[in-house]
Amino acid sequence: PHNATSFFTNQEMKPLGAGLKLVRGYFQSVRPSLGRVLVNVDITAGILWTEGPLLDVVMTYARNNMRKRDIHDLKNLSDFDVAALNRYLKGVRVTTRHLPGLRGKEIFRFDALGADKIKLEEDGRTVERYFLDMYNIKLQHPSICCVWLSRRAALPLEMCIIQAGQLYKRKLSRDDPIRSDILAFSTRRPEQRISTIVNGLGDLMYDSSDYMRRAGLRVATQPVTFEARKLEMARVVYKSGPQASQPFMHDVNGGAWNLRSRQFVQGATLRTWAIINLCPGGGRGAMARPQVQQFVTMLVRSMRDCGMRVEMDQPEIHDLVNTGRIEEVRRERPYSIVPDQAFRTAFITFIDRICSTRVKHWGDIVTGTATQLLLVDKVVKANPQYCANVAMKMNLKLSGTNHLPAGEPITFIGSAPCMVMGADTSHPGPGDGDKPSISALATSVDEHATVYVTTVRVQERRVEIIADLQEMWAVSQFQKYQSAIHKRNNIAPQRIIFYRDGVSEGQFAEVCATEVQAIRDAFITMKLPQPKITFMVVGKKHHVRFFPERQNADKTGNAPAGLVVDTDVAHPHEWDFYLQSHAGLLGTSRPMHVSVVADDNRFTADQIQELTFALTHNFPRATRTVSIPTPVYHADIACGRANIHFDPIPSGIGLTGLAAYKQAFKQVHPKLATVSPFMQGQQNNAQQPLSEHVLDVAYERN
């Protein structure tokens, strides 16, 4: 099996269940570089359908996802269950037991009716009777659901066999448990990865290829070696204690720093909050009331240690077993859960197994209540470090500021009105029907490029160019911030630093020309002077890896954070570079690939690299440098969490066409969307309300 760039073997395999397995493969592509052509080879992983009875796969999936206990539960399926099977298995190619020599056909759809109910158009016989008459086959399960292989051919599940060698093509959600299996299977330390690549060159058979010999080409058997540079780390700013009047400049070593004995730059005030336990009880996967109270005590201590003010030591704890009733929480107990007089500063923490979409839709869209979702498996094992991580997220959602980056690049951003932006688009998978694409734009409004406003839009599926970029513009928020904090009225950005994610190399020119013009048109519409624009494309979905010599590696064997490569493997004619901004944790680190497409600001190569690296130090809920610039990170998170803007209905049910999706898309609740983080000023932080930008920035899974 193979796709456009990779092929897969069965030499290494891991079963996933429900008819799927993980297999190892090899990626290969040809890339131009300075003075030579390079072959980019890497190992990769693919998900394949396992050859076997379709009925077994359907039953396993039904047990895991549809709460079906045995095969008899496949009778009289609901529309919801049929839609779930269609999403999972539509398009999978199957062969048949009764005609084993015929070519396989793709599953067209499932049908709740059994073979004893579906009748042939020609003579009115049931499918069950047809198999008995034509093939002398008596079906064992004639009343369970059937599968259609075309508009005219329905077959019993027991007669179908999934064909071998098919790639699983559907897009995995961020919460899909398969992701953890893929991560474990794909994770390889640098020395293991490069060894597998070199040893696997024999499978690629370059030396024995007639095409290569006729063209007079030869591929070296050893990786390219070259020298690289390491950028200096920026510094980060915290408070050194509750009485400290001066900020503390924290050094960053190896791409990480420690929050111990430090406090947030601006600690928020938590006045009214509550805990809702969505998995009460005892045993695995549940949490009893005493455990919740013990966790709350630890969390409150951590929040105060980090510089937050907590006015309610003992929040009310409520058990809610049926997560389908989340929408009824405030209607049932409006004053004990969320007091109206303190609605803007109310905060609800949910302890849950996994229903983030419903919780976030209820809080961000329906009620306008800031929420923090905690997974029960993490909470039962909570320690001070985990609680400090939770405190970072809660401080942001209450308008606090965790830390600030420092250094020459950040000083440059603050030296003149400047907006740093990140944009991304995400697209539906091959089996997602007519679901649209999602675009997101994150824009900084402060002089540290730390405070961001984020907007999300629905647009035509599989269109990479952001359609509503001019409407998504956030200059008004920038001007409000400048007016409130710096008393500068009607200030227009003089510089735009734009990082764009998710663009293939063949679309660089088109995306740049269209989106840069949209920015200029926005300034023309607002009758503002034209800014100087630097437009860069950030890529992470590539297969370039760097393997340092032992004496230059970090403790994980990876290249150190700050490694930059802009010569030997860079493009010979375009301005690009690779930057590994983060320290390795698991496996082999992947650097970002930055292509500078337009530059009105006339940066030097060093300046643009140092600026990009500095912008990986200011992701607000981490004490590490991140793998891509913070504005791109925010835009990526917003794209991934766009489903919270829709009613939590089964994906694809009830919505058809772009217009329907746009109509169903709900904006953030006005009680959150209209509250600005800076309108109260910085003199009296105790009165600071929930913030628009913090909620948008926090559009991530937790």
Task: Identify the structural domains of the chain with CATH numbers, from first to last.
Answer: 2-45+169-215 (no CATH), 52-162 (2.170.260.10), 267-398 (3.40.50.2300), 404-549+591-701 (3.30.420.10)
Q: Which residues of the chain have pLDDT under 50?
A: 330, 332-345, 651-652, 674-702
Residue the block writes with tokens 């911030």: 481
- Least Cα distance to 276 among 335, 344, 349, 332 occurs for 349
Q: Which amino acid is at 255?
A: G
**Residues whose CB falls within 8 Å of the CB of residue 633, separated by 6 or more in sequence, listed in order:** 422, 619, 626
Q: State the CB neighbour count (10 A cutoff) for residue 674.
A: 10
Per-residue pLDDT at 467: 86
Q: At what angle do helices 289-305 and 384-397 cross, to 10 degrees?
A: 70
**Residues whose CB falls within 8 Å of the CB of residue 649, separated by 6 or more in sequence, listed in order:** none
DSSP code for 119: B
**In degrees rounded to 5, what are phi and psi of residue 74?**
-85, 5
Q: State the CB neighbour count (10 A cutoff) for residue 101.
A: 6
* H/E element, 459: strand 452-459
What is the C-alpha to C-alpha distance for residues 553 and 627, in angstroms, rounded to an integer?
17
Question: Under DSSP, is residue 254 helix (H, G, I), strand (E, B) or coil?
Answer: coil
Can you point out the beta strands (E) in 163-271? 229-230, 235-239, 247-250, 269-270
- Least Cα distance to 164 among 8, 6, 4, 5 occurs for 8
Q: At what angle do helices 54-65 and 79-89 cross, to 10 degrees?
A: 120
Per-residue pLDDT at 676: 41
Distances (CA, A) of 356 to 87, 131, 186, 287, 373: 21, 46, 26, 18, 7
Per-residue pLDDT at 692: 29
What is the C-alpha to C-alpha distance for residues 393 and 373, in angstroms, rounded to an integer?
10
Assess contact for 353 and 285: CB atoms under 8 A: yes
What is the model's pTM?
0.87
**Residues whose CB falls within 8 Å of the CB of residue 215, separated by 6 or more in sequence, listed in order:** none
DSSP code for 665: -
For 502: left if phi > 0, alpha if psi spans -120 to 50, otherwise beta; the answer is left
**In degrees rounded to 5, what are phi and psi of residue 642?**
-65, -20
Per-residue pLDDT at 60: 94
CA gyration radius, the chain: 28
Q: Which amino acid is at 691?
A: S
The DSSP code sequence of 495-541 is EEEEEEES--GGGHHHHHHHHHHHHHHHHHHTT-PPPEEEEEEEE-S
Assess contact for 465 and 490: CB atoms under 8 A: no
Distances (CA, A) of 176 to 171, 180, 702: 10, 8, 15
| Token pair recorded at residue 274 | 């509550």
Per-residue pLDDT at 653: 54
Per-residue pLDDT at 245: 61
| Token pair recorded at residue 472 | 């998504």
Assess contact for 504 and 425: CB atoms under 8 A: no
